[in-house]
Amino acid sequence: MDVTNKHIIGILKKEDEIFMSAVRLNAKPPIKGEITKGKLKWRGIKIVQQNDEFVTIKWLEQRGQQISQQIICKGG
């Protein structure tokens, strides 16, 4: 596995940890058990992504309220 793939996998694992803890702790009501698309949709949770020239910012929102920290990926 090359360096680029290792870096991308590391970023995705960190993103997954942040998003999982947000839906388990910060969502109202918190999601218990299996996390499914239906549970996320029912609670109004979605991923928001903002792209600029060399920066991508992602976070989770629940009905317009940010429930996770922002993940900032710098490129270029």
Is pLDDT larger for residue 8 or for residue 48?
48
Q: What percent of the chain has pLDDT over 90?
A: 79
Residue 13 has pLDDT above 80, yes or no: yes
Domain span at residue 64?
Answer: 3-74
8 Å CB contact between 56 and 73: yes
Size of the chain in residues: 76
Tokens representing 65 are 């309220």
Tokens representing 27 are 């969502």
Query: What pLDDT does 20 receive?
Result: 95
Q: How many domains does the chain have?
A: 1
Q: Is 4 exposed, middle or buried (0-12, 13-18, 19+ CB in 10 A)?
A: exposed
Residue 59 has pLDDT above 90, yes or no: yes
Rounded Cα distance, 65 and 52, in Å: 22
